């Protein structure tokens, strides 16, 4: 399961994206799900499934990231 988690639509590997470092990828993911999507569609980009929390090998819990950023 984890071997394909990092792949994007179309089979593009995350390492080939313009966001080469971990911080910029995480920041983009959080901003997209919790800022850009709500601004554009009036909906969160997160459905709350917990898949990202279970699969994150870095033990980054997006719920904590969002909570820290909202302070």
17 neighbors 6 (Cβ within 8 angstroms): no
Say what the pLDDT of residue 4 is: 60
Comparing CA positions, the residue from 70, 19, 23, 15 lying closest to residue 6 is: 15
Can you tell me the distance from the alpha carbon of 41 to that of 12, in angstroms, rounded to the nearest whole number?
A: 26
pLDDT attached to residue 41: 93
Q: Which residues span the domain enclosing 65?
A: 2-69
Return the pLDDT at 56.
82
Q: What is the pLDDT along the chain (71 residues), one digit of tens a residue?
A: 556 655 555 555 555 566 778 788 888 888 888 889 999 999 988 888 888 888 888 888 888 888 887 77
pLDDT value at residue 39: 93
């Amino acid at each position: 399961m984890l071997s394909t988690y990092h792949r994007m639509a179309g089979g593009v590997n995350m390492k080939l994206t313009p966001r080469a470092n971990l911080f910029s990828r995480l920041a983009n993911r959080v901003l997209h799900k919790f800022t850009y999507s709500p601004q554009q569609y009036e909906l969160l980009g997160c459905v709350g499934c917990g898949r990202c929390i279970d699969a994150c090998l870095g033990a980054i819990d997006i719920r904590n990231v969002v909570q820290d950023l909202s302070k």
